[in-house]
């Protein structure tokens, strides 16, 4: 909905935090309870985080 790390900018050290905070904000704005944030680490690695707003 709000784009990924490239569209948001890539401040060193906070790109993951920024994506997670944007996800939580989008969940609250759209009255949703679950979402997934996916992050590319580089070098063929990645991580994902499932979030549930309670």
11-53 pLDDT, tens digit per residue, is: 666 778 888 999 999 999 999 999 999 988 878 888 899 999 9
pTM score of the predicted model: 0.72
| Whole-angstrom distance, CA of residue 8 vs CA of residue 19 | 8
Q: Does the pLDDT value for residue 3 go beyond 80?
A: no
Domain ranges, ordered by start, for the chain: 5-52
Q: Is 23 exposed, middle or buried (0-12, 13-18, 19+ CB in 10 A)?
A: buried
| Whole-angstrom distance, CA of residue 29 vs CA of residue 43 | 34
pLDDT at 9: 60
Cβ atoms < 10 Å from Cβ of 20: 15
């Amino acid at each position: 909905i709000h784009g990924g790390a490239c569209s948001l900018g890539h401040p060193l050290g906070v790109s993951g935090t920024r994506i997670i905070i944007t996800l939580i904000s989008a969940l609250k704005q759209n009255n949703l309870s679950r979402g997934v944030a996916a992050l590319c680490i580089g070098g063929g690695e990645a991580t994902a985080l499932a979030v549930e707003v309670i």
